[in-house]
Chains A and B, each alone.
Chain A
Amino acid sequence: MIHAVTSANRHLYTRQLKAMHKMRYDFYVAQRGWSDGLTIEDECEYDEFDRPDTVYLMNLSRDGEIRSTFRLMPTIDYYLLDKLPQFVDGPVPRGKQIWDMTRWIIAPAFRKASGQTRIKTQGELTCGLFEFAATRGITHYTTLMDTAFLPAVEQAGWKYELLGLPVPYGDRGETAIAVIIDVGPKALAHNRMIYGVDYSILFESPPPRIGERIEDVLARLDVIETIEKISDREARMAAWSGLTTQFSAA
């Protein structure tokens, strides 16, 4: 299930947020040697875009472990492309229906997972990403990514526009490119289809009752059970074919 972690429910996810900042430290600071503009504390990485209006999408396992995460924020205020305008040829995109996407990471344990598990993990996060857009009326996400990632985005069938030319970043000759991706309702349908996710995958916790933990909220709302039921597609398909057999027998 993909959890939308917002300022309203962030205190329910203290453990996961800490784990996410640690993963970011490992990936961006330890492996890639980034440090400019970053705050590093206790092997965790933070930057100026970890703000109250930031939303983290987290793909969590049933026991609350992170599989993968995204960071999202509105573009009506200062955001990454305002800080790095050299990646944008023309005006920096801005609007209520445009959000910016950064820090896309898969947890190391899931990088080693078998092909199918990995695809399911990523497919669910991608569908959650597009579903989140639907809940907020977001039509476009901007993102700044390694140019080497562009063929995969093109071949996944996403609709996008390039915002500028590739420009170098980092010290190994890598270049990044800014794109704006169409995430309207058609895009959600397309992604659900290519990843085979035909159910709602996004969960945004309502304000919790005093003293509740995320597990308590999920239990109170009966969310785990519902999700388990509907995500167990094989069982559902089996049940369905059993039903049709009965139907035709009658």
Chain B
Amino acid sequence: MMHGLSQFISDCRTVSSGAELDDLFRNLYRTFGAETGALSCIGSPSKLLNFSKVVGSSNPEFVRTYIENNFILYDPAAKRSIKSLAPFSWDECRIEVGEDKRALNVLNVADEFGYKNGFVVPIHSGLGNFSVVTFTGSDLDLTPATRGSLHLIGIYYHLALERLMLIEAAQARPDLTPRQIEVLRWVSAGKTDWEIGRILSISEATVNRHVERAKERIGVRTRAQAIVECLVNGIVTL
């Protein structure tokens, strides 16, 4: 695997600010020919991530047009992201929409604004947050290697954002104890419970208890649920 990508994955586990993360994200997707990377959160039961953000040079005029015309209702990419977790390109959507004029209109307007092609990565995280990361570019060449790389960039960007927002939410909550916040900070820096225990001179089980109590208070689901939810939703091992 490409060095830059491995480095990005590793940085995503330790990065501590959103601005720094966005820089890493932008610098990497550009090497694959994408001009913008956008993360939109469609469903988030825990309310931690309820936003849409664009990294890179987004066109405010396009965003305004999209919102004013309620494109979200007809956007074939949005529809498809809800149905399946497999990544896809706008070109593939175009084939799918056939004669649906309103759906075609969304794609054509995007095209007029210079978004010639896009690559869409739907993500369902273990913590129950759903998001869609879209990469666009005027000459985005979607080779198999580029698709695979953008897919991973989208996933790890989502995971890092989710981790940062979780920490932010935790820190904004006055009902968390200082110890819980301290432990969550180390968790956010990618340390294991065992490592945190060594740093703070407390047992691994105590660290875990702080994490679990903090998560209960913030209202996120357990780490264990992460895997189970995916399995029962039929995501497979081969």
CB within 8 Å for A172 and B84 given contacts A146-B235, A165-B145? yes
B125 CB, min distance to chain A CBs, angstroms? 4
Complex-state Cα separation, A222 to B149, whole angstroms: 53
User: CB of A223 within 8 A of chain B?
Assistant: no
Q: Known contacts A150-B155, A152-B229, A155-B226; can you find 11 more A-B pairs with CB under 8 A? A: A89-B1, A143-B237, A145-B237, A151-B226, A153-B126, A156-B226, A162-B152, A164-B1, A173-B87, A193-B208, A194-B223
Complex-state Cα separation, A213 to B21, whole angstroms: 58
Complex-state Cα separation, A174 to B237, whole angstroms: 12
- The interface bits of chain B over 25-55 (1 if a CB of A lies within 8 angstroms of the residue's CB, else 0) are 0000000000000000000000000000000
User: Which residues on B sit within 8 Å (CB–CB) of A148?
Assistant: 85-86, 123-124, 230, 235
- The interface bits of chain A over 95-116 (1 if a CB of B lies within 8 angstroms of the residue's CB, else 0) are 0000001111010000100010
User: Which residues on A sit within 8 Å (CB–CB) of B87?
Assistant: 166, 173, 175
Number of A-B contacts (CB under 8 A): 142
B44 CB, min distance to chain A CBs, angstroms? 14
A175 CB, min distance to chain B CBs, angstroms? 7
**A: number of interface residues (CB 8 Å):** 51
User: CB of A200 within 8 A of chain B?
Assistant: no
A3 CB, min distance to chain B CBs, angstroms? 19
User: Which residues on B sit within 8 Å (CB–CB) of A227?
Assistant: none
Query: Are A175 and B227 neighbours in the complex by a CB distance under 8 Å?
Result: no
Query: Are A152 and B224 neighbours in the complex by a CB distance under 8 Å?
Result: no
Query: Are B237 and A106 neighbours in the complex by a CB distance under 8 Å?
Result: no
Query: Are B88 and A190 neighbours in the complex by a CB distance under 8 Å?
Result: no
Contact residues of A between 70 and 127, Cβ < 8 Å to B: 80, 89, 101-104, 106, 111, 115, 118-119, 122-123, 126
User: Which residues on A sit within 8 Å (CB–CB) of B232?
Assistant: 106, 111, 118
Complex-state Cα separation, A144 to B237, whole angstroms: 6
Complex-state Cα separation, A28 to B159, whole angstroms: 29
User: CB of A169 within 8 A of chain B?
Assistant: yes
Residue in B151, B155, B204, B227 whose CB lies within 8 Å of A193: B204
Closest 8 CB pairs of A and B: A165-B148, A155-B126, A173-B86, A152-B126, A148-B85, A104-B237, A152-B226, A152-B230
User: CB of A208 within 8 A of chain B?
Assistant: no
User: CB of A157 within 8 A of chain B?
Assistant: yes
Q: Which residue of B has the minimal Cβ distance to A186?
A: B194
Complex-state Cα separation, A66 to B176, whole angstroms: 41
User: Which residues on B sit within 8 Å (CB–CB) of A156?
Assistant: 126, 223-224, 226-227
User: CB of B73 within 8 A of chain A?
Assistant: no
User: CB of A6 within 8 A of chain B?
Assistant: no
**B: number of interface residues (CB 8 Å):** 46
Query: Are A165 and B1 neighbours in the complex by a CB distance under 8 Å?
Result: yes
B48 CB, min distance to chain A CBs, angstroms? 13
Residue in A111, A155, A172, A193 whose CB lies within 8 Å of B125: A155
Residue in A144, A151, A190 whose CB lies within 8 Å of B155: A151
User: CB of A247 within 8 A of chain B?
Assistant: no
- The interface bits of chain A over 163-193 (1 if a CB of B lies within 8 angstroms of the residue's CB, else 0) are 0111111001111100000000010011001
Query: Are B155 and A104 neighbours in the complex by a CB distance under 8 Å?
Result: no
Query: Are B237 and A101 neighbours in the complex by a CB distance under 8 Å?
Result: yes
- The interface bits of chain B over 46-89 (1 if a CB of A lies within 8 angstroms of the residue's CB, else 0) are 00000000000000000000000000000000000000111110
CB within 8 Å for A151 and B237 given contacts A172-B84, A173-B86, A175-B86? no
B68 CB, min distance to chain A CBs, angstroms? 31
Query: Are A122 and B227 neighbours in the complex by a CB distance under 8 Å?
Result: yes
Query: Are A162 and B237 neighbours in the complex by a CB distance under 8 Å?
Result: no
* 10 A-B residue pairs with CB within 8 Å: A104-B236, A122-B224, A122-B231, A149-B236, A151-B155, A153-B227, A172-B84, A175-B86, A175-B148, A195-B224
User: CB of B210 within 8 A of chain A?
Assistant: no
Complex-state Cα separation, A148 to B232, whole angstroms: 13
User: CB of A234 within 8 A of chain B?
Assistant: no
User: Which residues on A sit within 8 Å (CB–CB) of B84?
Assistant: 172-174
CB within 8 Å for A151 and B194 given contacts A104-B231, A162-B152, A175-B87? no
User: CB of A154 within 8 A of chain B?
Assistant: yes
User: CB of B165 within 8 A of chain A?
Assistant: no
User: CB of A147 within 8 A of chain B?
Assistant: yes
